[in-house]
Amino acid sequence: MVSNMPVIDTEKCDKCGLCISICKCGILVMGDDGVKAIESEDCSRCTTWCNTCELVCPTGAITCPFEVVLEDGRE
């Protein structure tokens, strides 16, 4: 299953908090090791997949990966 949450590399995170400040869904919080996304069993809070956190991160620590698929398997 494709992750429904942004992916965070805490090694790269410098805890600047810019991603938290711009996140419209409010899923990002600062933890002891850096930013983390709030997980829940049925998480759909990151509703837009807007990529803005990835865009503003100065260290490339947070990414919003996506998968490429064919519509209905059509060629």
Partner 1 sequence: MPINLDTIRGMPYFSGLDDSALAAVSRYFFEKKAVRGDTLVFEGAPAEVLYFVVAGVVKVFKTSADGKEQILHVIRPGDSFNDVPVLGGINLVSAAAMSAAVLNGIKKKDLEALSKEYPRIALNVINVLSQRVQEMIELVEDLSFRNVSGRVAKILLEHIGTGGGENPRLTQQEIAAMIGTAREMVGRSFRTLEEEGAIKIERNLIVITDKAALRKIAGIIE
Q: Could you tell me which residues come within 8 angstroms of residue 27 by beta carbon, excluding any fewer than 6 positions away?
A: 5, 6, 37, 38, 43, 45, 46
Cβ of residue 21: shortest distance to partner 1, in angstroms? 3
Here the tokens at position 25 are 């869904």
Q: Is 42 in the site for partner 1 (CB under 8 A)?
A: no
Distance CA 34, CA 44 (A): 22
* Residue span 13-32 as binding mask against partner 1, x where in contact by CB under 8 A, dash where not: ---x-x--xx----------
Residues within the interface to partner 1 (CB under 8 A): 1-4, 16, 18, 21-22, 47-49, 51-52, 54-56, 58, 60, 63-71, 74-75
